[in-house]
Amino acid sequence: MKYLVYISLIASLFLASCGNLQQDIEIDIPEYDPQLVVECYLQPGLPYFLTLTRSQPYFDDIRVDYIEDAIVTISHSGGTDTLDEFNLDITDPTLGLLADTAILNTFSSIFGDQLTFYASLRPVPELFNEDFNLEIKTLDGEVLTAKTQILNPVPIDSLVQELDEDSLAFILTYFTDEGDRTNYYRRVFEAQRPVIDSTGTEPDTTFEFRIIQDFVVDDDIFDGQPFAFGTDFEFAIGDTIRSTLYHMTQDHFEFYNTQAAAVQASLSPFGQPAVVHTNISGGRGIFTGLVFSQETYVIQPE
C-alpha cells in the first residue's frame, strides 16, 4: 500500500510540474527617455484634430500623459491655422460612454477624467498634393516639426459581383493606379451585419458595417495599371457592402506597417522588431493627410 502512496505522490508531483508553462517575469530593460508623441490626420472638410502626449516606460502603469499648454500651428498655402487646446469630459453623457460602465472604467483608468487634445474648428482645406507644415512648441521649450501632403483621392472605377452556385457573391473592387509615382493604398472592405446587443445575440433590428478586409499595399505589382481587390464568396443576395480605398502618404504607409509590426513583435517570438516610423522631427507619431474613395453596393440576384 505504501508503494501505491509513493507512486501516487510522485505522479501527482510530476503532473503538477508539467502544468503552467507560462510565468510572470521581471524584465530588466534599459533606462527609457519618454518622447513626445503626435497624431494628426488631415481630413479635408473636417476640423483639425491633434493629440499630443508623452510616451511612458514600458512597465509603468498605463496613464496617458497629455501635454498641455502647447502652441500648435499648421501652415499651408492658404495661411496658418492655430489649434486650440480642448479638454473632453469623458463622463459627458453626450459621448455615450456612460451607458457602458466597462468602457467608461477603461477610459477613466487610462485617460483620467478628461481627454486633452488640440483642434481648430476651421476645416482642413482641400489642398491636394500641397505641403502642410506642423510646428509644436511646448511649455518646456521642446519643438516638434513635421511636413505632409493631402494626396488626391484615387477613385474606385467599379464594383463587380460574381455569384457561385450557392448564390453567394464575390466582389471585385476595380481602380486605376496613377503611374507617375509610387502610390500607397489602404483597402477596407465592410459588410453590413446585425449589431450584437448586450446579451451577445444578433436581434436583426439594427445594422452596422463590419470590417471584412483591412490591409495596406503599395503599387509595386500594378504600377500605373488597373487593378482589382477581391473577396471570398461570402455575401448573400441583398447584403449591403462598402468598399473604401485610402490613398496614403508614404509616411503614413510606413507608420501603419511598422506600428503593426511593433505590436506583433512584442506578442510573438517570430515577429521582426520594428522601430515605428515617424515623420515627426523631435518625437514620435504621424502627421499625414487622410483621403479616401468609397462605394456602397447591394448584392443583386443574377
Partner 1 sequence: MNYSYKLLHRFGSSGVPLIWKGAHAFRLFFLSCLFFGFTGFLHAQNVTLSGTVRSKTSGETIIGTTVAIPSLTKGGYTDAYGFYSITLPSSGDSIEIRYLISGYKTEARKIVLDKDIRIDVELDDISLDEVEITANSVQEELNSTQMSVSRITVAEAKKLPALFGEVDIIKTLQLKPGVSAGSEGNSGIYVRGGGADQNLILLDNTVLYNPNHLFGFFSTFNSDAVKTAEIYKGGFPSQYGGRLSSVIDVKLKEGNRRKFSGSGGLGLIASRLTLEGPIVKDKASFMISGRRTYADIITRGINNLNSDNDNFNPIPDYFFYDLNGKVNYELSDKDQLFLSGYLGRDRFQFSDDNFNFNFDWGNTNANLRWNHFFNQKFYVNTSLSYTDYEYVIANRFDEFSFEIGSKISDGAMRTDFTWLPNSKHTVRFGASGIHHRFVVGRLEASGGEQDSVFNFDAGDVYYGMEWGAYISDDIEFNDKFKLNLGLRATAFQDFTWLYNDPEPRADSTFYGFLEPRASLKYSLTNNVSIKASYARMAQYLHLVANSGTTLPTDIWYPSTRRVPPQSSQQVAAGVSIGIGENYLLTNEVYYKWLENQIDFKDGANLFVNDDLEAEFVFGRGWAYGNEFYIEKTRGKLTGWIGYSLAWSLRQFNDSIRNGETDLANVINDGEPFFARNDKRHDISVVAIYSLPRTWSYFLKNKVGWPFKKLKEITVSGAWDFRSGAAYTQAPGFFPYFGEGFLTTLTGQGNAPGNPAGPISFTPDFTNRNNARLPDYHKLDLAMTMAFKPKWGETELIISAYNAYNRRNAFFVFIDTRTNDDGVPVGFQGRLVSLFPIIPSFSWNFKF
For the segment 240-279, give every residue that binds partner 1 (CB under 8 A): 242, 244, 246, 254, 257-263, 265-277
* Interface of this chain with partner 1, residues 14 to 33, rule: CB under 8 A: 14, 17-18, 21-32
By CB under 8 A, tell whether 226 contacts partner 1.
no
Q: Which is nearer to partner 1, 109 or 300 (CB)?
A: 109
Pattern 201-220, binding to partner 1, x per CB under 8 A?
--------x-x--x-----x
Tell me which residue has cell 500500500: 1
Backbone angles phi, psi at 221, to 5 degrees: -95, -5
Q: Which is nearer to partner 1, 153 or 194 (CB)?
A: 153
Site size for partner 1, by CB under 8 A? Answer: 92
DSSP 8-state symbol, 237: T
Q: Are strands 240-248 and 226-229 parallel, antiparallel or unpaired?
A: unpaired
* Interface of this chain with partner 1, residues 144 to 203, rule: CB under 8 A: 162, 164, 170, 186, 188, 190
The string over 196-235, giving b where at least 16 C-beta atoms fall within 10 Å of a residue's C-beta and e elsewhere, is eeeeeeeeeeeeebeebeeebbbbeebeeeebebebeeeb
CB of 97 to partner 1, least distance (A): 9
CB of 203 to partner 1, least distance (A): 21
Which of 83, 96, 27, 77 has its CA nearest to residue 57?
27
By CB under 8 A, tell whether 3 contacts partner 1.
no
Q: Which is nearer to partner 1, 143 or 263 (CB)?
A: 263
The full DSSP string for 219-231 is STTTTTSEEEE--
The x, y and z cell numbers of residue 94, run together, are 453626450
Select the span of 37-45, 127-135, 142-150, 191-199 touching partner 1 (CB under 8 A): 37-45
CB of 269 to partner 1, least distance (A): 3
The full DSSP string for 223-269 is TTSEEEE---S-EETT-EEEEEEEEE-HHHHHHHHHHHHHHHHHH-T
By CB under 8 A, tell whether 58 contacts partner 1.
yes
Reported residue count of the chain is 302
Backbone angles phi, psi at 77, to 5 degrees: -65, -20
Query: Distances from the Cα of 231 to the Cαs of 160, 186, 191, 193, 213, in angstroms?
Result: 11, 15, 11, 16, 8
Task: Indicate which single residue of 9, 46, 139, 195 sits in contact with partner 1 (rule: CB under 8 A).
Answer: 46
* Interface of this chain with partner 1, residues 95 to 134, rule: CB under 8 A: 95, 102-103, 105-107, 109-110, 115, 117, 119
Q: Which is nearer to partner 1, 179 or 230 (CB)?
A: 230
Q: Which is nearer to partner 1, 8 or 77 (CB)?
A: 8
Which of 132, 286, 261, 252 has its CA nearest to residue 184?
252
CB of 186 to partner 1, least distance (A): 7
Q: Which is nearer to partner 1, 17 or 77 (CB)?
A: 17
Q: Which is nearer to partner 1, 77 or 101 (CB)?
A: 101
Backbone angles phi, psi at 55, to 5 degrees: -70, 165
Q: Which is nearer to partner 1, 145 or 192 (CB)?
A: 192
